Amino acid sequence: INGWLRYAALPSSVSWPSIPKHIVVLNTTKTSPVYTAGQELQRGIQSILGQGCHISNDKHEESIVVGTLDAYVAAYGKLNESVELKGDGYWLSTGSKTVILGQNERGALYGAFEYLSMLAQGHFSTVSYASSPDAPIRWVNQWDNLDGSIERGFGGASIFFANGTVVNDLTRVSEYARLLASVGINAVVVNNVNANATLLSPHNIDGLGRIADTMRPYGVQVGIALYFASPSSGVQGQANLTTFDPLDPSVVTWWSNVTEQIYERVPDMAGYLVKANSEGQPGPLTYNRTLAEGANLFAKALQPHGGIVMFRAFVYNQLNESDWKADRANAAVDFFKPLDGQFDDNVVVQIKYGPIDFQVREPASPLFANLYHTNTAIELQVSQEYLGQQTHLVYLPPLWDTILGFDMRVDNQTSLVHDIISGRTFDRPLGGYAAVVNVGTNQTWLGSHLSMANFYAYGRLAWNPAEDTTKIHEEWTRLTFGLDPQLVNTITNMALESWPAYENYSGNLGVQTLTDILYTHFGPNPQSQDNNGWGQWTRADHNTIGMDRTVSNGTGYAGTYPPEVAAIYENISTTPDNLLLWFHHVPYTQQLKSGKTVIQHFYDAHYSGAETAQTFATQWQTLASKIDTQRFNEQLCRLKYQAGHSLVWRDAICNFYHNVSGIADELNRVGNH
Ligand code: GCW
């Protein structure tokens, strides 16, 4: 339940210098994150080092002082160093006097968690540094329904809701806030983007207030997802209108009233998340209003209270596959590029990392490079919807890295995606990160112990996207399982092999994850990709496969990137192999840069990916004596399942394309023989 915050006692082999026994807390209000920081330091030092600490306000020579930078200067006078902190940042200086100072209150808590992480990993060298987050928005989204179920959640029922309302016992909510704060997350949207209007009843607004009260000591703000048609949905205790037209004055008043009520109960509410005109959801287009007019409706209601609107770019229509130029990947740019400059300043367009939907491999969404006058955030998914639903080990940060570190070459200049969303590239005031996490009541939070590395790493990368994803995993392993180098190396090695393996045994060369896309999004179902309106097509026939997204002969998608990038994707010879079938429709016999044909690569990759997956359980078994039995056995069970399921994947995909193409495997492994 504590995830990476176990604060395990250091092994006797580690020795450490003396750590101050006094903790000076510069704010003793119980709801203040500074107060929480003091409690957390006391708990952590007791648990990690077995040392009791005394919390007080008295000045001691040897102490740990925690508070805001301003409070420190007021009490102790100026620091010797000049310290520059951005919003939520902290200053950490360790030694016989340890100083942990936040730019604001939650910054102090982040610094305290960082200090405890050092201790828990046995790092005792003295440090003095400032650390500030790369972007102001570092949110998580929960797709929790009010009945307690979670859409695409694989870790049990909701910790927030049951039976149409907020649960009474919010202990798990407090534990979740603690985990979130420890990796620098500052807000959580608690309900599903496929939202329900009943959330806005006075009773449920009070429930949101209780959630916010529970999370406030951790500096985690609460946001909510809205159902666009709420004003005409007969919400109990609210006026009921006959319209939800965003330009209708009665609708404008309705939303400002409801927003007012929410802020009365939750004065620090973070804002709204809106999924509109997507997958059957109502929205402004229902009234021929633009998506910007829809977003600004909420922006104006929130503006007086300091809240922001996260407006999702995941808007697309059903398409007809007989149209060669139809392409769901074009939808976001088609809908949003013409609206650039029309969104209010407190609107942030939240963009899924790729143009389709959380696939195992996608190019970075071109929308990031098409909005110069609009705040943007990236949407990642910790919940492994298409990626094995936590029954498969898949460490996702290397995938996220391919997007965050991608250079869009806007105006032929370096323009990395993480610099665009931080607001640096286009000089925007807001921007950042959202991830669909979907933790549940399961004791492991996500349903799998090893999947928690994705959650941890998400927070670390949202704070600093340049951080090395291998190092993050090593750190997480030390905190979660222990300091033994063999343990750290083995689990990290498994993690690093996992995404390439999953890509190899699911969908290669940019064809997408070949899961069932109609219902479960789980397990192989390559035939489900085509002949439907969802637009996740592969266009596989007897001789050829792949989506032609070129400008010259296809859907034109390649041309939605800035010119230098567009030129790379327009041509087969410059398109990287791992995105070949994303951008081009080619014969199965097309030669890759590796020298193999497409079809032989399919066969080989599926065999090698499944082979790697066979080793995960055996690698894990070498750690039997180093991990407690419960976690060891629970994870072993999942890794064995993955080993078996990877073979199912391998055979399903290889046989499918063998049947479609009629081309034999050079190594004679596939088909009946
Ligand atoms: O990936 C798809 C999911 C839906 C989800 C939708 C979205 C919440 O299958 O379950 O709906 O995306 O992101 O809105």
CA of 353 to the centre of ligand 1 (A): 13
Instruction: Give the span between the Cα atoms of 366 and 330, in whole angstroms.
Output: 9
Ligand 1 atom nearest to CA at 275: 14
Alpha carbon 357 to chain centroid distance? 13
Q: What is the pLDDT of residues 381-421, one digit of tens each?
A: 999 999 999 999 999 999 999 999 999 999 999 999 999 99
Q: How far apart are CA 212 and CA 220, in angstroms?
A: 8
Cα separation, 504 vs 650, in Å, equals 9
For 245-262, what is each residue's pLDDT tens digit?
A: 999 999 999 999 999 999
Write the pLDDT tens digit of every residue in 426-450. Answer: 999 999 999 999 999 999 999 999 9
88 ligand 1 Cβ < 6 A: no
What is the position in ligand 1's atom list of the atom closest to the CA of 152?
A: 10
56: pLDDT confidence band, cut at 50, 70 and 90? Answer: confident
pLDDT of residue 34: 97
Q: Which residue's CA lies nearest to atom 2 of ligand 1?
A: 357
H-helix segments, 77-141: 105-120
Sign of the CA dihedral running 665, 668, 672, 673: positive
580 SS3 class: helix
Question: 60 pLDDT band (50/70/90 cuts)?
Answer: confident
Is the beta carbon of 152 within 6 A of some atom in ligand 1? Answer: yes
pLDDT at residue 673 tops 70:
no
Annotated active-site residue 385? The verdict is yes
Q: Which atom of ligand 1 is nearest to the CA of 192?
A: 8
Query: Which atom number of ligand 1 is nearest to the Cα of residue 436?
Result: 13
Structure tokens at 371: 């909005």
- Tell how far the Cα of 367 is from the centroid of ligand 1, in angstroms: 19
Yes or no: say if 434 and 389 are a contact pair by the CB < 8 Å rule: no
CA distances from 353 to 204, 273, 289, 290, 380 (A): 32, 17, 26, 23, 6
Selection from 363, 359, 326 nearest residue 566 by Cα? 363
Q: Whose CA is nearest to atom 3 of ligand 1?
A: 152
Q: Summarize pLDDT for 574-615 with one digit per residue, the tens.
A: 999 999 999 999 999 999 999 999 999 999 999 999 999 999
193 Cβ below 6 A of ligand 1: yes
Residue of 327, 357, 474, 570 with catalytic role: 357
Contact yes or no for 471/416 (Cβ under 8 A): no
Compute the distance from residue 279 Cα to the ligand 1 centre, in Å: 8
Rounded distance between C-alpha atoms, residue 479 and residue 462, angstroms: 19
Q: What is the 518 CA–ligand 1 centroid distance (Å)?
A: 12
Q: Is 522 in the pocket of ligand 1 (CB under 6 A)?
A: no
Is 138:114 a contact under the CB 8 Å cutoff? no
Give 384 Cα–ligand 1 centroid separation in angstroms. 12
From the CA of 585, how far away is ligand 1's center (Å)? 27
| Interhelix angle 171-182/105-120, nearest 10 degrees | 80
The DSSP call for residue 526 is: G
Return the structure tokens found at 394. 């898949």
Report the top-level CATH class of 481-546+585-673: alpha beta
CB of 353 closer than 6 angstroms to any ligand 1 atom:
no
pLDDT grade for 671, boundaries at 50, 70 and 90: confident
Q: Which of 279, 345, 468, 541 is catalytic?
A: 279
Q: How far is CA 283 from CA 126, 280, 287, 350, 367, in A?
A: 54, 9, 8, 16, 20
Ligand 1 lined by 352 (C-beta under 6 Å): no
Ligand 1 pocket check for 428: Cβ under 6 Å = no
For a mutational test of ligand 1's pocket, the pick from 141, 142, 150, 151, i.e. the residue with the most ligand atoms closer than 8 A to its C-beta, is 151
Ligand 1 pocket mutation pick from 149, 194, 352, 436 by most atoms within 8 angstroms of CB:
194
pLDDT class of 59 with cuts at 50, 70, 90 = confident
- pLDDT range class, residue 359, cuts 50, 70, 90: very high
Task: Please report the atom of ligand 1 found closest to the CA of residue 379.
Answer: 13
Q: DSSP assignment of 644-670, as one string?
A: HHHHHHHHHHHHHHHHHH-PPPTTS-S
pLDDT at 79 over 80: yes
357 Cβ closer than 6 Å to some ligand 1 atom? yes
Amino acid at 186: N
pLDDT digits (tens, 9 = 90+) for 155-194: 999 999 999 999 999 999 999 999 999 999 999 999 999 9
Residue in 279, 350, 516 to alter for ligand 1 test, most ligand atoms within 8 A of Cβ? 279
Q: What is the pLDDT of residue 3?
A: 97
Name the region of 279 (left: φ>0; alpha: ψ -120 to 50; beta: rest).
left
Assigned fold of 137-317+328-480 = TIM Barrel (3.20.20)
> What is the full DSSP assignment across 181-236?
HHTT--EEE-S-SS--GGGGSHHHHHHHHHHHHHHGGGT-EEEEEE-TTGGGTT-T
379 alpha carbon – ligand 1 mean position (Å): 12
Residues of the chain above pLDDT 90, percent: 97
Is 279 marked active-site? yes
Distance CA 65, CA 608 (A): 53
Return the bridge partners of 66, or none: 25, 100
Task: Name the residue of 311, 315, 357, 359 whose CB sits within 8 Å of the most ligand 1 atoms, as the mutation to test its pocket.
Answer: 357
> In this predicted structure, what is the pLDDT of residue 57?
79
Q: What is the mean pLDDT of the chain?
A: 97
Section 649-671 average pLDDT? 96
Residues 22-131: name the CATH superfamily: Chitobiase/beta-hexosaminidase domain 2-like (3.30.379.10)
Pairing of β 54-56 and β 22-25: parallel
CB of 658 within 6 A of ligand 1: the answer is no
In short, whether 143's Cβ falls inside 6 Å of ligand 1 is yes
Name the residue of 362, 385, 518, 520 to mutate for ligand 1: max ligand atoms within 8 A of Cβ: 385
Ligand 1, closest atom to CA 151? Answer: 10
Report whether residue 399 contacts ligand 1, using a CB cutoff of 6 Å.
no
The whole-number average pLDDT for the span 280-303 is 97
Share of the chain above pLDDT 70, in %: 100
> Please, which pLDDT band fits residue 281 given cuts at 50, 70 and 90?
very high
Please, is 208 exposed, middle or buried when counting C-beta atoms within 10 Å of its C-beta (0-12, 13-18, 19+)? Answer: buried
Distance in Å, CA 134 to ligand 1 centroid: 27
Residue 627 to residues 426, 480, 574, 621, 624: CA-CA distances in angstroms?
A: 48, 10, 47, 10, 6
Which residue's CA is the closest to the ligand 1 atom numbered 11?
194
pLDDT of residue 672: 66
Q: Torsion angle of alpha carbons 166, 172, 174, 178, nearest 10°?
A: -140
pLDDT beyond 80 at 333 = yes
Q: Is 316 in the pocket of ligand 1 (CB under 6 A)?
A: no
Closest CA to 151 of 309, 9, 281: 281
Q: Which residue type sits at 194?
A: N
Of the candidates 379, 385, 419, 665, the residue annotated as catalytic is: 385
Q: Where are the domains of the chain?
A: 22-131, 137-317+328-480, 481-546+585-673
Looking only at the bridges linking them, the beta strands covering 187-189 and 221-226 are parallel
